[in-house]
Structure 1
Amino acid sequence: MVKPYTKAIRLMPKWKIYDKEDVKRLTKVRPGETKIGEIVSAGAEGLDHSRLAIIGIPEDIGIRANLGTGGATTAWNAFLPAYLNLQSTQSLRGAETCIYGYLDCSDLQHLKHSESVSALREAVNLIDQAVAGQVDEIVAAGCFPVVIGGGHNNAYPILRGAASGYHRTGRIAAEKLDAINLDAHSDFRRREGRHSGNGFRYAFDEGILEKYAMIGLHRNYNAANVIDEMAREANIHYCFWEEIFLEERCSFKEAVLEAIAFTRSGTTGIELDLDAIAGVLSSAMSPSGITSTQARQYLHLCGSKAPVAYLHICEGAVRLDNGLIDPTTGKLIAYLVSDFVRALGQNRSFS
């Protein structure tokens, strides 16, 4: 249940919808080439004749509500021109894609670090409401959502909106989805108010998330009580980074395929937290983790083999509040999205 933001209803975030001119301004045209941005559609009209809809959630309210480092607001504006300036080819056709818009959280972003954690967590409820409603609308229009965050708090409203939309269109019998998450953290902490560390918990407890598979958790950053609880749940599967790369119980590819097999009975959301990739600028960046190549392999495998419901890439940043900068994050996300979209062309369940 989404609770109202009692202190400032006027701060409700609003969707900013793109038009074709917005897209053209970000596209660099060259003779003899066709860029994605030259032929994608835009805005609400684009939903009528597209298979995929890309939306942005440039916020870090959920991250700061989890006592994390802000800066995830910066990924969307770096990703979009990087993606629009990719080459449109037979395997990556821009004509199939709609650049829909982004959630303008600028009013909420004025909640500074001095604000109480409870106020930030209350504000996340507003983001939940806006995201769930828009994802529901996109899915009901027959489009596949590709969501670029923002914090991992948005997994909860994306799951809720996608489950509702697919149920309304008859693709799923009940309003519930599965999810696969490549992440250093489970994001399954207790329901203590909404933030980036408990989106999957809320979805699981409310019956929106049926089966949850996690790949590459870091032993150092997942609490024992959470791991113990997940171990008792038949509908939860996880493996640690250390099991793959130190103990060599399985290969990375085997771990991904095992997660796909675990969730194969249901329609599955695909989640990638960029803090799983070593050295990538994110709210909880780490010197240890998977490589960008392995992240690309993960999305290729999921995109080609899983019964996919949506793609969500989150937690990345070009500039963090602590001053760290990496201008390549947007290009990395563009690589990841393009890998996934190409893989969908090989997926028999995607239609």
Structure 2
Amino acid sequence: MEKFNNMAFQLITSEDIRQLTAERAGETKIGETIQSLSDFSVEAMNASSARFVTLGIKEDIGPRANLGRAGAHSAWEAFLPKFLNMQSNRFFNGSDCLIAGSIDLNGFANSNELGNLRAATSKIDQILTEILNTIHQAKKIPIVIGGGHNNSYSNIKAAAINHPKGKINCINIDPHADFRPLEGRHSGNGFSYAFEEGYLNKYAIVGLHEGYNSENMLNALDEKKVSFTTFEDIFIRENMAFISAVEKELRVVNDGQYGIEVDLDAVENIASSAQTPSGVSVTNARQFVHHSGSSSNACYLHLCEAAPSLSAHPDQVGKLLAYLVADFVKSRKNY
């Protein structure tokens, strides 16, 4: 744990969990059964029977470096009490999860100048890759909450360097492909950097918005053989049902280990870095996580870009994140 102290890593203790959990007679909450760590190390995680490690990321440098809105730093604080106060029962036993804590990375940017933000995003890449690598080394499945979609890079890289082939696949539900040029790191090019550096093999996207991806971006996707189904094809022209689109893109990535990326920008009217009035429903997002998680090849879940601090009802954003985490854990029951 000591090596992360200067990076503002906050370990969650059993006492922290108890204070956030509203105990009630005759009920058992996730906060009463979830596991915590004595220190952040492979050895401490190996001592736990939990299969999943939940980690919070407090940063919005990546979105700001992509000319987006601040706010993604606030997702973890909104998520945590909602998650801990879900019921631990026959459907979801909290002891399956270990809650590691969170890391506050916004201090890496000392100005809003674009070059400074992009340099800070690169520093975040290095730190998160190291942290996530520790989780993978312990043979646990990371569930990463908060921050910008720039952190897809670290999620992919950490999983890839722990895979025999040195690369993994990825499925993403997102209005944007986040495959922008290699112009300095930000939330819009995590996948293109991961592809260029050899960590990302096959990439598939569900719900791409036709009006918010440039022709240059689409050409880059074609060149790299990225598979995608657009939002308009699913919901406007109704050429394909939503679940059929998810299954189509899963067939692309499910020949090997793959990460699951959920950009909350995709969900209609949810406060996020690039909030949309036209997107998938909350139920669609939950279906995506369930179907994507229902394979032994799914190696992490990343929920990003949610910005509850921009919402009049931040607790509702936190509750959605809690639902998505529970859906992922439950989808893995047979694996």
Instruction: Quickly name the TM-score band, shorter chain normalised.
Output: over 0.9
- 1:277 pairs with 2:267: yes
Match of 1:6 in 2: none
- Structural mapping, 1:225-304, within 5 Å: 225-234=216-225, 236-304=226-294
Matched, 1:198 2:189: yes
CA contact (8 A) 1:272 1:314 kept: yes
Which sections of structure 1, spanning at least 5 residues, go unmatched? 1-10, 168-172
TM-score w.r.t. length of structure 2: 0.93
Task: Name which of 129, 144, 153 aligns with 1:132.
Answer: 129
Question: How much does 1:325 deviate?
Answer: 2.9
Indicate yes or no: 2:80 matched with 1:80: yes
- C-alpha contact (below 8 Å) 1:13/1:127 kept by paired residues: no
- Matched residue, 1:5: none
Q: 1:87 to 1:284 in 2, by over 3 A?
A: same
Amino acid aligned to 1:157: S
Using the TM superposition, name which of 181-190 and 46-55 deviates more. 46-55
* Structure 1 residue 106, shift from structure 2 partner: 4.5
Q: Where in structure 2 are the equivalents of 1:1-351 lying within 5 Å?
A: 13-43=7-37, 44=40, 45-49=44-48, 50-108=50-108, 111-112=110-111, 115-165=112-162, 167=163, 173-234=164-225, 236-305=226-295, 307-320=297-310, 324-327=311-314, 328-346=316-334, 350=335
Identity of aligned residues (%): 43
Could you list the runs of 5+ residues in structure 2 that have no partner in the other structure? none
Please report how far the alpha carbon of residue 91 of structure 1 lies from its aligned counterpart in structure 2 after TM superposition: 2.2
Structure 1: how far apart are the matches of 2:174 and 2:100? 27
* SS of match in other structure, 1:319: helix
Partner of 1:3: none
Indicate how the Cα distance of structure 1 residues 250 and 258 shifts in structure 2: closer, same or farther if over 3 A, else same.
same
* Paired AA for residue 34 in structure 2: V
How far 1:273 sits from its partner (Å)? 0.3
Q: CA deviation at 1:46?
A: 4.8
Query: Does the Cα contact within 8 Å between 1:260 and 1:306 map onto a contact in 2?
Result: no
Instruction: Give the Cα separation in 2 of the matches to 1:130 and 1:80.
Output: 22
Distance in 2 between the 1:265 and 1:161 partners? 19
Kept in 1: contact 2:179–2:220 (CA 8 A): no
Moved runs in structure 1, 4+ residues, more than 6 A? none
303-312 or 140-149, which moves further after superposition? 303-312
Q: Secondary structure at the match of 2:181?
A: coil
Question: Structure 1, residues 114-155: CA drift from partner, whole Å, max 9, x if none?
Answer: x31000000011111111011110011121000002100000
How far apart, in 1, do the equivalents of 2:273 and 2:146 lie?
12
Aligned equivalents of 1:239 and 1:212: distance in 2? 12
- Does the 8 Å contact 2:61/2:106 carry over to 1? no
Equivalent position SS for 1:64: helix
